[in-house]
């Protein structure tokens, strides 16, 4: 027999899954809560038990997407033998994630518009920016990068990659533009080496 807590968690996961599909397919503005609850097979009361409204539901979906992107970035970086190769691989994984349709729509196009830039940045910081700062700290420690404060460098690189990801999200040829962006990022990163 399923406990109430398990049922609530199952309902929450269903709402997140269905909402993610709808938001990714049509965008935040085109999706109504009535459509979400119908697709999830729950009542509006069940939705409001978990989320105060559409914006909070979207925020939970966005946090999930950003967490997944952060895990992909960390996984790509951790798969490499050295800190430098890990940095390059992690940055490349972030840019590649930007071309996935659900990430493009939810994280890059609707995320900043719906939640506002400050909240969007806080989620980004929580999900992946700390990995970048950790990698840069290690590279400075080992001498691959010249001694310098890591915080401003991490913000500069994060800003450059976020801007590139936003550009890729609206690209008409994401494959070509991703290759060009990775090459440009590689040259930028290489210029930082001591």
pLDDT of the residue at 194:
85
- Please report how the helices 54-78 and 130-142 are oriented relative to each other, as an axis angle in degrees rounded to 10: 30
Tens digit of each residue's pLDDT (9 = 90 or more) over 62-113: 999 999 998 999 999 999 999 999 999 999 999 999 888 899 899 988 999 9
Residue 98: per-residue pLDDT: 84
Mean pLDDT value across residues 161-168:
89
- Residue 14 burial (C-beta neighbours within 10 Å; 0-12, 13-18, 19+): middle
User: Considering the entire predicted model, what is its pTM?
Assistant: 0.88
């Amino acid at each position: 027999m399923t406990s109430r807590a398990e049922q609530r968690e199952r309902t929450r996961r269903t709402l997140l899954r269905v909402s993610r599909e709808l938001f990714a397919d049509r965008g935040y503005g085109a999706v109504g809560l009535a459509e979400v609850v119908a697709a999830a097979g729950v009542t509006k009361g069940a939705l409001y038990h978990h989320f105060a409204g559409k914006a909070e539901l979207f925020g939970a979906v966005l946090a999930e997407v950003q967490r997944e992107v952060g895990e992909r970035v960390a996984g790509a970086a951790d798969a490499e033998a050295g800190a430098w190769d890990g940095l390059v691989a992690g940055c490349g994984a972030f840019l590649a994630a930007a071309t996935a349709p659900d990430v493009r729509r939810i994280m890059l196009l609707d995320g900043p518009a719906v939640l506002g830039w400050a909240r969007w940045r806080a989620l980004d910081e929580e999900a992946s920016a700390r990995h970048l700062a950790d990698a840069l700290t290690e590279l400075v420690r080992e001498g691959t990068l010249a001694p310098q404060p890591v915080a401003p460098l991490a913000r500069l690189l994060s800003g450059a990659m976020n801007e590139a990801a936003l550009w890729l999200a609206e690209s008409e040829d994401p494959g070509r533009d991703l290759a060009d962006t990775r090459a440009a990022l590689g040259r930028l990163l290489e210029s930082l080496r001591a």
